[in-house]
Structure 1
Amino acid sequence: MAAKEEKKQNAIVETIKTIVYALLIAGVFRTLFFQPFWIPSGSMKETLLVGDFLFVNKMAYGYSYASCPSLIMPRFGINVDAKDICGMFDGDNTRLLGGEPERGDVVVFRHPVSGRDYIKRLIGLPGDSIQMRDGVVFINGAAAPQEPAGVFEEIMEPQGPEGRRPRCANGPVGDGGVCQKTRFIETLPGGTEHIVLDIAPQASDRTGVYRVPEGHYFFMGDNRDNSADSRLAQQVQGVGFVPYENLIGRADRIMFSSAGRSMLFFWTWRGDRFFKAVE
């Protein structure tokens, strides 16, 4: 009887050890190589849609305190921030094995104030001047050309787990209606092309000149009229200039995509977006 009880206890210990080892391996993998990221909002449409799932390439820019994973689950009272684990590396704005991001990269980074992970397109490099004039971005005084590219359409309905509804250029649209946005192909210095969307004239289409400090970057969403990004100061829920050390990694490829409120709703999976490159 004692031998049987001891065997049972050993089995429990081995199970616990297996779980601990698996979590450690997953933690190391996520810290050093790839971090999973769900797209929660429409700020990067149509490049990234609500419900896209991708892995962020952490090797692209090297490592800093921001490379440590955060685990934030308010529903369960869990709030483990990257600074709680790797805060001793914060503050010098440097990186280990650091690589320089390129203009046009789609980057995941830590918000300089809230610490939450954001994903946007890199528009301004250190030393650049950036300005919006009537919806067109000017980089160092030269316009990034925009070529008309038709209309982006989506169904007006709650999107993703948060149930957000899209904004439309074709006025108020009821549930089930077709929501439209004007598409443009924007070309950045160096030749990178990507789709940007326009909804309506607004204040963020016309700005003063932003001068990107050394060691910082300027980010914008592709869905230009529905993005809290570097055009807004951090104090007004924007992003402002992002320090080099706050970069987490580059988004290279969409692995999975679901248009529904849950990834378990297989009838809402977007098969045409599986393994799609992020451009």
Structure 2
Amino acid sequence: MAVYFSILLVALTLVCGVVWVIDKFHWAPQRRLKLAVAQAQCEGELGADAEAKIMEAPFFIDTPVQIFPVIAFVLVLRSFLYEPFQIPSGSMMPTLLDGDFILVNKYNYGLRDPVFREKFVEIGAPERGDVVVFKYPLDTRIDYIKRVIGLPGDRIIYRNKSIYIKPACTDEVKDCGSYKQIEQNFVSNGDYHDGDVPLTRYKLKLGEKTHDILVNNQILPRTAHFFKQAGTQKDEFVVPEGHYFVMGDNRDNSLDGRFWGFVPEENLVGEAVFIWTSFDFERTQEDLLPTWVPTGIRFSRIGSIE
């Protein structure tokens, strides 16, 4: 749906832009010339109503001219700066909740054209711990949001609900010879639930990002369903060049890279950076109002995303 909207927005902007240019350099001067001729032929002053009628453009010209600056601004903002998204599920709890409305920074990872998504300006790349929006590799019509765990060349193990990372060797990373377990510090139990099951909350640090995750200790690791990669153990992942390995913060309720593989760099949309509003949706089918009507605003959730 987002792809179709981008194409429609670009097409509408182009059409309105062409009309705006033609009007500015041809039709508007023609109307001014017509007004000058009418004034010259009139013995007295033309009335304001008559002048306005002569200068008035037809609706099929005036409407595109009026809306062009607005949609051009929206196109630039949405394509190259920030795009709003809604969180539709609980796979990123507790960082993001169903009903959060977020802003995604679209220039951190380079500028792309809004239709073919070809990068034309290199700016930066995802860092470990970033929360990213991307096109789901198995169906690029769908936008997903997860956290970056592995960078290109990394080796990742997810075992006993813990992450082990062997980073790729680079000029900046010298300690790349062995796996390092990402420490998980207990925070609480029961703040969040999966049905009737209390979830355990841990705090951990990935790269420069400190964040919380949720674990359902009653669910065994589903390694039999993990993405199968030649030459690795069943719970090990080697991130190819130009790809990223991502996971949801709600570890046992997230369809992420453990099950379908890696995110190609060209699928990246941007980095989720800010919650600009958040709604509660607690209505049931028995309520008078539809379930999509919010029951309240969670002001405490507005702010930066870690």
TM range (shorter): 0.7 to 0.9
Determine the structure 2 residue equivalent to 1:216. Answer: 243
Distance 1:123 1:28, change over 3 A: same
Higher helix share: 2
Is 2:202 the partner of 1:196? no
2:162 alignment partner AA: V
Q: String of CA shifts for 1:64-105, please: whole Å, max 9, x gaps.
A: 35xx2xxxxxxxxxxxxxxxx216x3xxxx662230211001
Which of 253, 265, 269 in structure 1 is aligned with 2:297?
269
Q: Aligned Cα RMSD in Å?
A: 2.6
The structure with more radius of gyration: 2
Q: Using the alignment, how far apart are the partners of 1:259 and 1:117 within structure 2?
A: 22
- The residue identity in structure 1 corresponding to 2:202 is F
Letter in 2 for 1:195: D
Q: Against the structure 1 CA distance between its residues 224 and 6, is the aligned structure 2 distance closer, same or farther, given a 3 Å change threshold? A: farther
Tell whether the 8 Å contact from 1:121 to 1:221 is kept in structure 2 after alignment. yes
Aligned partner (choices 243, 247, 263) of residue 264 of structure 2: 243
Secondary structure of the 1:231 match is: helix
Give the equivalent residue in structure 2 for 1:153. 191
Q: Is it true that 1:230 corresponds to 2:260 in the alignment?
A: no
- Which residue does 1:53 correspond to in 2? 101
CA distance in structure 1 between the partners assigned to 2:268 and 2:125 by the alignment: 10
Distance in structure 2 (CA, Å) of the matches to 1:22 and 1:252: 25
Task: Using the TM superposition, name which of 241-250 and 209-218 deviates more.
Answer: 241-250
Provide TM-score, normalisation by structure 1: 0.72
Structure 1 partner of 2:147: 121
CA distance in 1, matches of 2:297, 2:129: 28
Q: What CA deviation, in whole Å up to 9, does each residue of 1:228-279 have, x standing for no partner? A: 110012xxxxxx21111211111111000001244x53x41101112x1101
For residues 161-191 of structure 1, the C-alpha deviation after alignment (integer angstroms, 9 at most, x for no partner) is xxxxx724x44xxxxxxxx311011223x45
- Name the aligned partner's letter for residue 231 of structure 1: R
How far did 1:28 drift?
2.0
Deviation of the 1:218 alpha carbon: 0.3
Q: How far apart, CA to CA, are the structure 2 residues paired with 1:113 and 1:205?
A: 20
Structure 2: tracts of 5 or more residues without a match: 1-48, 167-178, 225-233, 282-290
Alignment partner, residue 259 of structure 1: 280
Give the counterpart of 1:134 among 141, 144, 160: 160
CA 1:204 to 1:6, structure 2 compared with 1: closer, same or farther past 3 Å?
farther
Higher relative contact order (CA 8 A, sep 6+): 1
Match of 2:163, SS? strand
Percent of aligned pairs sharing the same letter: 38
Cα deviations across residues 118-140 of structure 1 (Å, max 9, x unaligned)? 11100001111111111001111
What are the within-5 Å matches in structure 2 for residues 92-131 of structure 1? 96-115=121-140, 116-131=142-157
Equivalent residue of 2:211, what SS? strand
Shift of 1:23: 2.3
